[in-house]
Structure 1
Amino acid sequence: MARLVSVEHGLDPVKEHLSNQGYQVVDPDEWVRPVEAVIYRGVPLAASERRGVAENTALVNAAGLTPEEVAMQLENKLG
């Protein structure tokens, strides 16, 4: 089964790259089961935005990173 990750709206190149790498990508407001990682940009997620995010979910700030760099950070965090 593909790894499920949530990618913030507006990060379309990241979504496309991760999909091409075999990830199942969902929008933050669409997941129905826990995701393994949340990709966002800017400030860390506020508590209200962490609904359904497990304590061990990887968080990757995509601000200033290329889609390839985001994928590398994601791989490092997920192992």
Structure 2
Amino acid sequence: MFKVTVETGLDDIKAHLSTCGYEVIDMEKCVRPVQAVVFSGLPLSKPLTQRVNSDVTFLVNATNLTKEQVVERLQEPFC
């Protein structure tokens, strides 16, 4: 299953990703490797590199994107 960590506060995106079959992990609780990170583009309380494993392969800045567009961006590298 494709594992994605999502920044706290992007609840509509988290819910949509879950319904699309992604394993969604809240960024505040992420302690294992994931294939992608979805973030808001706003300053984080801690640097992103401290929040996720260094094996992250894809970053998605969700600023000004719909939840559907976030899914499209996650699918791009595999098309």
Indicate whether the TM-score tops 0.5.
Answer: yes
- Give the number of equivalent residue pairs: 77
Name the TM-score, length of structure 1 as normaliser: 0.82
Q: Any idea what SS the aligned residue of 2:71 has? A: helix
Q: Over aligned residue pairs, what C-alpha RMSD do you find?
A: 2.2
Do 1:18 and 1:71's aligned partners in 2 also have CA atoms closer than 8 Å?
A: yes
Give the 3 Å change call, closer, same or farther, for CA 7–29 of structure 1 in structure 2: same
Segment of structure 1 superposing worse, 33-42 or 52-61: 52-61
Matches within 5 A, 1:1-79: 2-43=1-42, 48-51=47-50, 52-54=52-54, 56-77=56-77, 79=78
Give the ranges of 4+ consecutive aligned residues of structure 1 lying more than 2 Å apart after TM superposition. 51-56
TM (normalized to structure 2)? 0.82
Question: Which structure 1 segments of 5+ residues have no match?
Answer: none
Q: Name the % identity.
A: 43
Gaps of 5+ in 2: none
